[in-house]
Amino acid sequence: MEKTRLENLKELLAIDPQDSFARYALGLEYAALNEPQSAMETFEELRALDPNYVATYYQLGKVYEMLGSEDEAKKVYEKGVYIAASQSDMHTKSELEQAINELL
């Protein structure tokens, strides 16, 4: 039987727990499977391990919104704006600012 994407991503992380992209992809997969708690935990692990992985902030904020934690989502988006600006990533900064505005 063929492995699921979720199983493959977990295997990649078992091989290299520091692989930020694999952890990010795992969080996305949990979100796609409508498992917001697992997605949140995975994105929070990524944020702790690699706080400059800017894409995390948008996805983590969206997961907090799914969980009904809009205040936490806003904090995550705001931190992401700061990280994106520090990396001169104006596209991601703009997306995060838009997410904040949609919460208001």
Q: How many domains does the chain have?
A: 1
* pLDDT given for residue 4 in this prediction: 95
Q: Which CATH number does the domain housing residue 47 bear?
A: 1.25.40.10
pLDDT digits 0-9 by tens, 67-103: 999 999 999 999 999 999 999 999 999 999 999 999 9
Domain with 25, as residue range(s), is 5-103
* pLDDT given for residue 1 in this prediction: 76
Question: Within its chain, how far is the Cα of 101 from the centroid?
Answer: 19
Tell me how crowded residue 81 is: count the other CB atoms within 10 A of its CB. 20
pLDDT digits 0-9 by tens, 37-55: 999 999 999 999 999 999 9
